[in-house]
Amino acid sequence: MARTTTKAPVRKKTKHSSAAPAEKSENRRQSNAERSAYFARREAAKVLRLVLQGDARRRAVGSIKSLIYSPSVKNKKATFALVCETLKHLSVIKEVLDEAEILNSKWKKQDELVYIITYDVLFGQKTLSTGDAEKFLWKRREALVSALASILKKKKLKNVQELLALYQTPDADVLKPRYVRVNTLKLDVESAQQELEKKFSVQKDDVVPDLLILPPGTDLHNHPLVMNGSIFLQGKASSMVAAALAPKPGWEVLDACSAPGNKTVQLAALMRGKGKIIACELNKERVKRLNDTIELSGASNIKVLHGDFLSLSSEDPTYSKVRAILLDPSCSGSGTASVRLDHLLPSYATGQSSNDVDDFRLNKLAAFQRKALEHALSFPSVERIVYSTCSIHEVENEAIIKSVLSLASSFGFELEAPFPQWPRRGLPVFEGSEKLLRTDPVEDREGFFIALFVRKKGEKPQTKDEKQKEILVPNVFSKFCKFMFYSQVSRARRSVPQCGCCHHET
């Protein structure tokens, strides 16, 4: 009997069945993209809040870039784009929201998130379906678009670009090389250079040994070496500050105003992780950023001190072994305005930027800077002090140094030229100013100032009691004291008389 075989029916592929997996994949991709955008908007809103609060108070926690590229921000590229574009459109966004009158009390308390999402609604993403704030504003998209059209009509403008032009000031920034400092606590310079050369053109800097130079516009923010703390995105002028202090391995160093911490961890690298660094920072928010930076660097010899440098007693045994102090105090920031993207801040558009700082604020800053430098000079075991600012103003730079020269000399300090081969020196406003260092905002793309004080070998610093006597004696002399002093000096020049009424040696 012949065997017969029956074939199973062949199932024809339909367009529906073949498209189903692709459709699911596409939906999954869109869902992931929406979720990523949702979190990026929240991160951007947090950064924007800090930026706007700092700008309003004229005391920034950090620059736009430094806030975005802190370790706590995960999606740096998306966050950077959202913050910058929202700031660029902020005046328009505020005007549209006022015109539309759609916000209730709940959303008025979340200004920064509303600004970010409104930017996306008007100029960014096509649809927003994830998040309560997104859904609220997306449902009112027509009202927002209508308000924008109404504003253009009232101002007799053709498009949004013309409206933006009313608010914007030109970007003063210019293309500059991308500098990266190799964190030698984790990686040697040669290995870092070889890794980066796989994708980029890389050169070694001729001034700062651990600094590499990449082409302008190089985006490294998501590079593995940045993410794991092997390299830091740090400008050349900023990197020169810690290098000028040049602490030796095993030293005890005090970083007086340390956040956000790039210079602090650079000190740790220069010291090869040996010795001790006391990182002092007064601002609570900046302490958090400082700790993040230290953790990323892998430095284990840094102790963070949340407090005011001026409140530290130079006579406290805790600081008796401090041999170097880095003092980079609060300043106007006028030398790095373009680098910090200050042209995007509301204050820049209204002429209140750090480049146009008023005399009152400058004098207030200068008073603090001088007080801090005088305090740094009083630590008895200190051998080297670097004073630096990112300011172009003489009042914060040469004027501060000139005002403390006499005091510095009494403590045994003298100015020494950091990086003697560097061509740009201090303004010629006093003898010895050629030992100061400046970087130029145009030539070097950043305007920094560095002064290095070195204690002369064999010099014993005066104690505070000795200096107090030196200061007080002339002020408390009475006419009778002076009479007794000069009469006794004329009788016996060999003896040193004592004033009986004020109990001070004369």
Could you tell me which residues are annotated as the binding site for S-adenosyl-L-methionine? 257-263, 281, 308, 328
- Binding site per annotation, positions: 257-263, 281, 308, 328
- CA dist 129 and 421 (Å) reads 59
- What is the torsional sign of CA 309, 315, 319, 322? positive
- CA dist 331 and 316 (Å) reads 28
- CA dist 190 and 193 (Å) reads 5
SS3 state at 120: helix
**Contact partners, residue 116, CB within 8 Å, separation at least 6:** 41, 44, 45, 48, 82, 83, 86
DSSP secondary structure, 440-454, as one string: -TTTTSS--EEEEEE
- CA dist 376 and 303 (Å) reads 18
How many C-beta atoms lie closer than 10 Å to residue 246's C-beta? Answer: 15
Question: Of the candidates 437, 401, 444, 440, which has an alpha carbon nearest to the alpha carbon of residue 422?
Answer: 437
User: Is 227 in contact with 177 (CB distance < 8 Å)?
Assistant: no
User: Is 391 in contact with 332 (CB distance < 8 Å)?
Assistant: yes
Give whole-number Cα distances, 111 to 76, 87, 104, 346, in Å: 21, 13, 11, 15
- CA dist 425 and 275 (Å) reads 32
- CA dist 385 and 452 (Å) reads 6
**Contact partners, residue 94, CB within 8 Å, separation at least 6:** 115
Classify burial at 458, counting beta carbons within 10 Å of its beta carbon; exposed 0-12, middle 13-18, buried 19 or more. exposed
Classify burial at 442, counting beta carbons within 10 Å of its beta carbon; exposed 0-12, middle 13-18, buried 19 or more. exposed
Cite the beta strand spans of 344-473 per DSSP E.
384-389, 413-416, 437-438, 449-455
**Residue positions annotated with a catalytic role:** 390
- CA dist 202 and 190 (Å) reads 11
User: Is 335 in contact with 448 (CB distance < 8 Å)?
Assistant: yes
- CA dist 280 and 260 (Å) reads 11
